[in-house]
């Protein structure tokens, strides 16, 4: 039986460490503060008895659990990222623990009247009677993906302490900077040495995913001319108004709040500007490769069109590819999805196989030669103050890892 209290304490320890990544940095990891947790994880792995523990110059952590059988079976891996999103406050996390959740609203912050509503966030209701870990309304929680890190660490410790559970060679990896699209950029697949792996980075209990968005980012720089407003007639060019034209020219219903399933979108994630210059940050997402390429062309062509309208080179659009849909790499290896499905069923979880409306390290790793579907880590409402994770979901994810390892020996 997995120790519930140990899993909880491990998770609380990890989220107490600020590991937000920074998209403006060119270093790896993108923030020095990620090293604190990275070094701690490497030390913990050595202390629990993992072999070949390494942490490289870019904070990528790898370790091996040797087999306890003589039969030759595939080497499998489990991967999570330890950075947290830069999109919302990730400092001074003060988690709340709600035991025996009653199915109703949860007050996150009474003073600021911040409520985690079970009517608005309907998934909450399915966890009635469980232990829910939430924020205090002032930060994100960090379950994305410290829940995944916790589950992998807990599963490895359990397997070490229970040699009666037979398993082959297991590799684990922890990465920085996944939240800014660089988690797999410097991952050494050859050194990792697994035949395939699973990222523990999904959301609700039961999720099993091998499709994800094709993804790109777009930086739109709008140039204006700033002069004294009292003498601005026919001279001032306000970049913010031009930026507004750009924003309004993209299809309003093709945004995250109006799309679902495999539907793609344009997402304006940040605006920073004044009269002289405004910078728009977009992310572009679509499951369909042709639609994805068309979206990139739409946003590039719009920049050209607005320049024509204003008869100046006032808009510059820079589009950068981030990751691809891993489906084409997983489909020839669907037995690895089937193994995860059987493991879930064996621990009384109904698998939910669906496309990811996001991305994971697994999408990039699959194109680097390491097929890597995604398994639930248990959290909900990532990247904001309404983030929460049921402790029981983390325990079940830990059980799934252990069961995958066990079932792999019976192939």
Phi-psi region of 248 (alpha: psi -120 to 50; beta: other; left: phi over 0): alpha
Residue 104 has pLDDT above 70, yes or no: yes
Q: Which residues are catalytic?
A: 83, 178
Q: Does the structural domain 4-212+325-410 have CATH classification 3.40.50.300?
A: no
pLDDT digits (tens, 9 = 90+) for 126-142: 999 999 999 999 999 99
> What's the whole-number mean pLDDT along residues 233-253?
96
Domain-by-domain residue ranges, the chain?
A: 4-212+325-410, 214-323
Given a cut of 70, whether residue 411 has pLDDT beyond it is no
The answer, yes or no, to whether residue 360 has pLDDT greater than 80, is no
CATH of domain 214-323: 3.30.70.360
74 Cβ neighbours under 8 A, 6+ residues apart: 168, 195, 196, 408, 411
- For residues 309-314, average pLDDT: 94
pLDDT given for residue 340 in this prediction:
98
pLDDT digits (tens, 9 = 90+) for 209-221: 999 899 999 999 9
* Average pLDDT over all residues of the chain: 96
Q: Is the CB of residue 100 less than 8 Å from the CB of residue 194?
A: no
pLDDT of residue 315: 97
Mean pLDDT of 67-74: 96
For 180, list phi and psi in degrees, rounded to 5. Answer: -115, 20
pTM value? 0.87
Burial class (CB in 10 A: 0-12, 13-18, 19+), 100: exposed
């Amino acid at each position: 039986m997995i120790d519930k209290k140990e899993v909880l304490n491990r998770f609380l320890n990890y989220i107490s460490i600020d590991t937000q990544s920074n998209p403006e940095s060119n270093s790896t990891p993108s923030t020095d503060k990620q090293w604190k947790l990275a070094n701690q994880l490497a030390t913990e792995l050595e202390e629990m008895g993992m072999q070949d523990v390494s942490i490289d110059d870019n904070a990528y952590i790898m370790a091996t659990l040797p087999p306890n059988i003589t039969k030759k079976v595939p080497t499998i891996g489990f991967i999570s990222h330890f950075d947290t999103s830069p999109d919302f406050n990730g400092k001074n996390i003060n988690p709340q623990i709600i035991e025996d959740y009653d199915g109703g609203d949860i007050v996150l912050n009474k003073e600021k009247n911040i409520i985690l509503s079970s009517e608005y966030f309907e998934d909450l209701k399915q966890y009635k009677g469980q232990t829910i870990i939430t924020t205090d309304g002032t930060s994100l929680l960090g379950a994305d993906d410290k829940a995944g890190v916790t589950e992998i660490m807990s599963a490895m410790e359990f397997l070490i302490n229970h040699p009666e559970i037979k398993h082959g060679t297991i590799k684990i990896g922890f990465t920085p900077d996944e939240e800014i699209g660089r988690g797999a950029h410097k991952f050494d697949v050859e050194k990792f040495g697994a035949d395939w792996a699973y990222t523990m980075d999904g959301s609700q209990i039961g999720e099993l995913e091998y499709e994800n968005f094709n993804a790109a980012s777009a930086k739109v720089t709008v140039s204006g001319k700033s002069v004294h407003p009292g003498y601005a007639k026919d001279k001032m060019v306000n970049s913010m108004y031009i930026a507004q034209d750009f924003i309004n020219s993209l299809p309003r219903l093709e945004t995250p709040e109006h799309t679902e399933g495999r539907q793609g979108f344009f997402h304006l994630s940040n605006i920073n500007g004044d009269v002289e210059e405004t910078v728009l940050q977009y992310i572009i997402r679509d499951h369909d490769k042709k639609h994805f390429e068309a979206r990139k062309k739409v946003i590039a062509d719009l920049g050209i069109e607005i320049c024509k309208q204003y008869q100046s080179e006032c808009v510059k659009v820079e589009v950068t590819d981030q990751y691809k849909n891993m489906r084409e790499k997983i489909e020839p290896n669907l037995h690895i999805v089937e193994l995860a499905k059987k493991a879930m069923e064996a621990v009384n979880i109904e698998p939910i196989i669906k496309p990811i409306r996001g991305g994971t390290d697994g999408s990039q790793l699959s194109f680097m030669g390491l097929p890597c579907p995604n398994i639930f880590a248990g959290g909900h409402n990532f990247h904001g103050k309404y983030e929460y994770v049921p402790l029981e979901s983390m325990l079940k994810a830990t059980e799934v890892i252990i069961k995958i390892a066990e079932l792999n020996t019976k192939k």
